[in-house]
Each structure stands twice: as C-alpha cells, then as structure tokens.
C-alpha cells in the first residue's frame, strides 16, 4: 500500500506531482449508499458506532478518489461533553433545547473530558489510522461558529442573540470564547494523539462579522488555539467560512499552515491578503456542480492555474457539498483535477505547486 501524502506536502508548501483534492462535506447525502444508512441511523447514532463511522468516512475516498478523508462527525459533538444537550435535526441542523444566553449558563459549562465522553470519536480515528492510505483530516468547530448555535439554539441568518451577547455582555462573551477555546484545544489534541494527520478549524459563520469586531471579539481565541497546538507536528487549516474575504488580512499572525477560501476571493487574492504566509485551500463554488461538466471543468481549470502559480495549494470547494450534488460529476471532477494539474505542474517553468 503506497501512502498518498500529497495533502500533507501541499499544506506544507512542498512540491507535489499533482494537486491533492478533497471536498468539505464529502461524506453525505449525495451518495445513495449513505442515504440508505441514514434511513436506519441518525448522524449521532452513527458517530457512536466507530466501525460504521469509519466506514462512512472511507466511502468518498473509495468512490471519488480524493486525496484525504475527513472524519465523519459533526462540529457539535464535543459540546455534549460540556453538558449541552443538542440534536441534529433533518434539513435544519443543530438544535439546542435550552440555548445559552446568560453568564450563569456559561459558568455551568463543564470542561471537556474527551476520554470519558467522546471515546467513540477517538476509536473511529484509531480505526481509520489503520485502514486509510490517505491522510485523515479531523476537525473542530471554531468558537464563534459553535457559540452561534449554542446561543441562537438553531441555525440563524442574523445571529441576533449571538451579537447581542458579544456587543452587550462582553464579560459573558469572552468567558464563552475562553471555554470554547479550551474545548477545541483539548479535543483536537486528542485527535492527533489517536492518529489524525491534519486538522481543520471550521469557522463557517464568522464572515458575519466586520474585520474590527472579528479582531476584538474572536481572533484572540483563534490565535490562542493555533498557538497552543503549535507543538503538534501536523498541518493545521483555518477555514473562516463563507463571506470571510474581508477578514483575511487580519489572519497573518495565526500559526496555521493553511487557510481555506470561499469562492468570492481568488486564490492569488487570498494569498495577497494573507501576506503569502499560508498554503491556500479552495474554492470552487459548490453550486457550480449543478452546471454541465464542461463548465465545471473550465472553472476548476481556472482555479488550478491560479492555485499552482505559487507553492502550497489544495483543491477543494468554497463550502460544503449539498445533498443534490452528483456522485458521477464529483468523480469526474476529481479525476480532472488530478490529470490537468499533473500536466500543468509538469509544464510549469518553475515546476512547483
Ligand atoms: O465533511 C464531511 O464529510 C465530514 C462530516 C461533517 C459533518 N458536519 C457531518 C454532517 C463535517 C466536517 C461537518 C461540519 C459542520 N457541521 C459544519 C462546518 C462545515 C460547514 O458546512 O460550514 C457546520 C456548520 C455543521 C453544523 C451542521 N450539521 C449543519 C448546518 C447541518 C446541516 C443540516 C441539514 O440537514 O442540512 C448538519 C448536519 C450534518 N452534519 C450532515 C452531515 C453529513 C447532514 C445531515 C445528515 O446527513 O445527517
């Protein structure tokens, strides 16, 4: 078994013979086999069965030929260990019966105990570490994004309660950021100890903030998370989510190897805004996958040409896959990225990616 380490190499800005590719939300409802499993079990029930969760994690690797696996789990899983009850409701997302709204609610949150409460996740990671011939990416939700679910109680468009706490009760807000920061640090550390080969911090909704508010209310915790995990010898990815282009210039001091971009900012522009410090990951608009294959390939080609113009690029989508995506198109796209990027890298004057 030849281990495919292109993802790790690209995240470290080392040379690769072709681009690595994986897709956010690559395990999911676009796959009929996954839908069949979901008829029997909920997401949370699957996560409690490590053999099954590992199997689902491996399905897109086999079916699509991607260069990385991403752990089948959800960003909400670790909050169970803090004492928060939640459910993942079909077509809605995370729902919390008793949202967190006051300083007293925040003070009641327990410190995470991964080994006691989340051993099933560590077991899944350990199984995958034995089975996979591509790197396993593990992940956590970033504090703002997790806080938005805890405070709103469900997905939100305005983040009204979240922002009310952030602007109106800074003491409560910063205590929550501290506690969620501690949670993320402890959780991701155990992932790497059990076989995770890279991790991504998903800050899916933080693009809702102005850069100055992001810097004041959120970035210190993001900076601390990466600083405290710096000793772990795995590449670390920060994904500041959708509509986060204006936040990019504020990220230059975080000690991550890579930053994920949504589709609104080109790869070269993403590099420019972050001072060339990070490997870039992204950023095909997932909804381009609704177009005919030649349109998809043309857009992918433009992203690849842009991506390989400097070292450190991983092909991905600009956000997660949606349930109506087509397995066949994804397979063809993956093959296209591999073949086209291999040619392009070979014929590059300075031959590097
Ligand atoms: O990427 C993968 O294949 C790994 C698995 C994964 C899931 N959630 C499984 C899941 C990952 C990486 C996540 C992260 C996640 N969860 C994020 C960050 C990524 C992003 O999209 O911005 C967020 C915001 C969540 C919260 C969440 N969980 C939402 C908004 C939803 C969608 C609700 C719906 O039904 O459309 C979920 C549920 C969820 N998590 C699904 C999957 C495969 C879909 C429902 C299911 O199959 O049960």
**30-51 pLDDT per residue, tens:** 999 999 999 999 999 999 999 9
Neighbours of 213 (CB within 10 A): 16
Q: Whose CA is nearest to atom 8 of ligand 1?
A: 74
Q: Are 27 and 157 in contact (CB under 8 A)?
A: no
Beta strand 93-96 pairing with 86-89: antiparallel
Q: Whose CA is nearest to atom 2 of ligand 1?
A: 25
Token pair 């405070």 is at which residue? 151
In a domain, residue 128? The reply is yes
Is 352 within the bounds of a domain?
Answer: no
CB half-sphere exposure, 243, CA atoms < 13 A = 9
pLDDT tens figures, 98-110: 999 999 999 999 9
Task: Determine if residue 73 is labeled as part of a ligand binding site.
Answer: no
Task: State pLDDT tens for residues 294-328.
Answer: 999 999 999 999 999 999 999 999 999 999 999 99
Is residue 353 domain-resident?
A: no
Mapping DSSP to helix (H, G, I), strand (E, B) and coil, where does residue 169 land?
A: coil
Domain tally for the chain?
1
Give the pLDDT band (50/70/90) at residue 2.
Answer: confident
Distance 200 CA to ligand 1 centre (A): 14
Residue 352 has pLDDT above 70, yes or no: no
Digit-coded pLDDT (tens) for 154-212: 999 999 999 999 999 999 999 999 999 999 999 999 999 999 999 999 999 999 999 99
Q: Is residue 351 part of a domain?
A: no
The H-or-E segment that residue 242 falls in is: none
Distance separating alpha carbons of residues 143 and 130, to the nearest angstrom: 31
Whose CA is closest to atom 32 on ligand 1? 93
Q: Is 27 annotated as a binding residue?
A: yes
28 annotated as a binding-site residue: yes
| pLDDT at res. 22 | 98
Return the CATH number at 264.
3.20.20.210
pLDDT of residue 171: 98
**pLDDT band, very low/low/confident/very high, at 349 (cuts 50, 70, 90):** confident
For residue 232, give the DSSP letter: S
User: How confident is the model over 148-155, as a mean pLDDT?
Assistant: 97
Q: What residues flank ligand 1, with Cβ below 6 Å?
A: 24-29, 38, 43, 70, 72-75, 88, 90-91, 93-94, 139, 155, 202, 204, 320
pTM above 0.85, yes or no: yes
pLDDT tens profile 52-101: 999 999 999 999 999 999 999 999 999 999 999 999 999 899 999 999 99
* Residue pLDDT, tens place only, 255-278: 999 999 999 999 999 999 999 999
Residue 111: band (very low, low, confident or very high) from pLDDT cuts 50, 70, 90? very high
Query: Which atom of ligand 1 sits closest to the CA of residue 29?
Result: 47
Judge whether residue 350 has pLDDT over 70.
no
98 is in an annotated binding site: no
pLDDT at 224 over 60: yes
What is the structure's pLDDT at 84? Answer: 98
Q: What is the chain's length?
A: 353
85: in domain = yes
- Residue identifier of the C-alpha nearest atom 12 of ligand 1: 25
CA pair distance 4, 181, nearest whole angstrom: 32
- State the residue for tokens 């069949």: 36
Atom of ligand 1 nearest to the CA of 42: 48
Its domain, for residue 130, covers 6-346
User: How far apart are the CA of 25 and the centre of ligand 1, in A?
Assistant: 7
Is 81 annotated in a binding site? The answer is no
Residue nearest to atom 30 of ligand 1 (CA): 93
Which residues, in sequence order, are bridge partners of residue 137?
A: 70, 198
* Cα–Cα separations (whole angstroms), residue 2 to 50, 98, 132, 134: 25, 49, 10, 9
- Please tell me the number of Cα atoms within 13 Å of 254 on its side-chain side: 30
56 domain residue, yes or no: yes
Residue 88 Cα to ligand 1 midpoint, Å, equals 9
- State the distance from the centre of ligand 1 to the C-alpha of 17, rounded, in angstroms: 32
Q: Do the beta carbons of residue 319 and residue 330 sit within 8 Å?
A: no
* Assigned domain for 59 exists: yes
164: three-class secondary structure by DSSP: helix
Question: Which pLDDT score is estimated for 312?
Answer: 98
43 CA distance to ligand 1 middle (Å): 9
Write down the pLDDT at residue 109.
98
DSSP line for 81-133: GGT--EEEETTTEEEESS---SHHHHHTPPPP-HHHH-HHHHHHHHHHHHH-S
Phi, psi of 123 (to 5 degrees): -65, -40
For ligand 1, atom 9, the nearest C-alpha belongs to 74
> Rounded CA gap, 225 and 223, in Å?
6
The pLDDT score that the predictor gives to residue 348 is 86
Contact 254, 217 (CB under 8 A): no
The C-alpha atoms of residue 144 and residue 209 are separated, in whole angstroms, by 10
**Residue 319 annotated as lining a ligand binding site:** yes
């Amino acid at each position: 078994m030849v281990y495919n380490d292109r993802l790790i190499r690209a995240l470290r800005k080392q040379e690769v013979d072709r681009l690595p590719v994986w897709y956010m939300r690559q395990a999911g409802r676009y796959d009929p086999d996954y839908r069949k499993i979901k008829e029997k079990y909920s997401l949370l029930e699957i996560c409690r069965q490590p053999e099954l969760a590992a199997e689902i994690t491996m399905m897109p690797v086999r079916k699509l030929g991607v260069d990385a696996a991403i752990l089948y789990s959800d960003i909400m899983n670790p909050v169970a260990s803090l004492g928060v009850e939640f459910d993942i409701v079909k077509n809605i997302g995370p729902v919390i019966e008793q949202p967190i709204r006051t300083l007293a609610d925040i003070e009641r949150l327990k410190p995470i105990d991964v080994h006691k409460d989340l051993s099933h996740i560590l077991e899944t990671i350990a199984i995958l570490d034995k089975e996979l011939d591509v790197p396993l990416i593990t992940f956590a939700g970033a504090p703002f994004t997790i806080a938005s679910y805890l405070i709103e109680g469900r997905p939100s468009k305005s983040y009204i309660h979240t922002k009310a706490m952030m602007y109106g009760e800074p003491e409560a807000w910063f205590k929550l950021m501290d506690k969620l920061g501690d949670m993320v640090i402890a959780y991701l550390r155990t992932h790497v100890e059990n076989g995770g080969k890279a991790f991504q911090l998903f800050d899916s909704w933080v693009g809702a903030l102005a850069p100055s508010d992001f810097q004041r209310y959120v970035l210190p915790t993001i900076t601390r998370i990466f600083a405290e995990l710096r000793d772990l010898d795995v590449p670390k990815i920060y994904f500041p989510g959708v509509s986060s282009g204006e936040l990019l210039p504020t990220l230059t001091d975080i000690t991550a190897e890579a930053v994920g971009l949504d589709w609104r900012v080109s790869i070269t522009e993403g590099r420019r805004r972050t001072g060339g410090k990070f490997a870039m990951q992204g950023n095909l608009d997932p909804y381009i996958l609704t177009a005919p294959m030649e349109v998809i390939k043309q857009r992918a080609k433009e992203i690849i040409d842009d991506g390989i113009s400097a070292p450190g690029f991983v092909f991905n989508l600009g956000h997660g896959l949606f349930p109506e995506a087509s397995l066949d198109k994804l397979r063809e796209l993956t093959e296209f990225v591999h073949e086209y990027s291999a040619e392009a890298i070979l014929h590059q004057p300075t031959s590097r990616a």
